[in-house]
């Protein structure tokens, strides 16, 4: 009986403890954004590794899934990724719009005025997020959208 309770306790621990990066001690996974308008994505964590492709959208949200020295292993919303030098990344939080003509409301209320409609693929800065709604800024226009319509913030994550 004692072994069963110890087993149940250890099974719960991974949910309680969040993985941390070995270099930064920041949570893994976590979201960041592309600092410049281009970022080389390499097969491995060094300049010796081949460039597999280049991210070409300033502010693109990326998910950090690994760390090695000055390199971060990242993925985009399609799960495509590789290794990027940390100097190409920013802690500024952005999101990419998943659905075409996503409404940007004046308040976190679907009955409020719509400030704009965002096209799929638009990158917007996240100003804050609660459990359901996120306040975004895109092309100088601010407003609220439902968290499920964007990629770049965790389902349970809140941003102040």
Q: What is the pLDDT of residue 110?
A: 96
d(CA 151, CA 98): 7
pLDDT tens digits, 15-52: 556 799 999 999 999 999 999 999 999 999 999 999 99
How many residues comprise the chain?
160
DSSP code, position 19: P
List of the chain residues with pLDDT < 70:
1-17
Query: In this predicted structure, what is the pLDDT of residue 17?
Result: 61
pLDDT at 18: 75
């Amino acid at each position: 009986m004692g072994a069963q309770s110890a087993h149940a306790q250890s099974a719960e621990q991974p949910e309680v403890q969040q993985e941390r990066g070995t270099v930064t001690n920041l949570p893994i996974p976590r979201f960041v954004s592309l600092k410049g308008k281009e970022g080389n994505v390499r097969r491995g964590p060094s300049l010796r590794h081949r460039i597999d492709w280049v991210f070409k959208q300033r502010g693109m949200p990326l998910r950090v899934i690994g760390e090695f020295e000055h390199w971060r292993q990242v993925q985009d919303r399609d799960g495509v990724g590789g290794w990027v030098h940390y100097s190409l990344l920013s802690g500024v939080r952005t999101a990419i719009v998943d659905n075409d003509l996503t409404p940007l409301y004046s308040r976190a209320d679907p009955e409020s005025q719509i400030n704009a409609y965002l096209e799929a693929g638009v990158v917007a800065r996240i100003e804050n997020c609660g459990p359901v709604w996120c306040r975004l800024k895109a092309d100088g226009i601010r407003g609220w959208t439902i968290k499920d319509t964007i990629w770049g913030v965790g389902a349970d994550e809140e941003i102040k």
